[in-house]
């Protein structure tokens, strides 16, 4: 027999997802503020992860470059490219968080919650 929608376990799960989703929204907003606005270095995992992945890609681009000028020309784009790629990372985190919020407040399908959070 399937578990009823309004069982205590189901409601507890939705409350937990709601709380985690609120936390993810606040964390993502804080990450963007720490990265873009704070005048000193403050690391968190979305920023560190994105910059690390972009650094590895740039390291591959530098393999065949031997002189300083050509390497410097390529590395001049490292910071701007990393910051531009952080935007979709933050947007994805916000999308997932809002999908969790919508699901926790009564949207039955996760697909519908994701569609609603992206609109």
Domain assignment present for residue 98? The answer is yes
Alpha-carbon distance 35 to 80, whole Å?
13
Q: Model confidence at 5, in pLDDT bands (50, 70, 90)?
A: low
Count of domains forming the chain: 1
Domain assignment present for residue 2? The answer is no
**Cβ proximity of 54 and 78 under 8 Å:** yes
Domain assignment present for residue 3? The answer is no
* Short-list 92, 78, 84, CA closest to 36: 84
Which range marks the domain in which residue 96 is found?
Answer: 8-117
Domain assignment present for residue 112? The answer is yes
**Cβ proximity of 90 and 32 under 8 Å:** yes
* Short-list 111, 101, 91, CA closest to 21: 101
Kindly report the pTM of this predicted structure: 0.85
Domain assignment present for residue 1? The answer is no
pLDDT digits (tens, 9 = 90+) for 24-78: 999 999 999 999 998 787 788 999 999 999 999 999 999 988 899 999 999 999 9
78-104 vs 8-36: helix crossing angle, rounded to 10: 160
Give the pLDDT of residue 32: 93
């Amino acid at each position: 027999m399937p578990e009823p929608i309004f069982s205590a376990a189901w409601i507890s799960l939705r409350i937990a997802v709601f709380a985690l989703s609120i936390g993810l929204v606040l964390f993502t907003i804080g990450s963007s503020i720490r990265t873009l606005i704070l005048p000193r270095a403050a690391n968190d995992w979305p920023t560190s992860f994105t910059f690390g992945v972009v650094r590895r890609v740039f390291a591959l681009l530098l393999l065949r470059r031997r002189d300083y000028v050509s390497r410097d020309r390529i590395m001049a784009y490292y910071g701007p490219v990393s910051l531009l790629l952080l935007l979709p990372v933050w947007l994805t985190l916000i999308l997932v968080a809002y999908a969790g919020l919508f699901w926790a407040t009564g949207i039955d399908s996760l697909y519908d919650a994701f569609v609603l959070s992206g609109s």
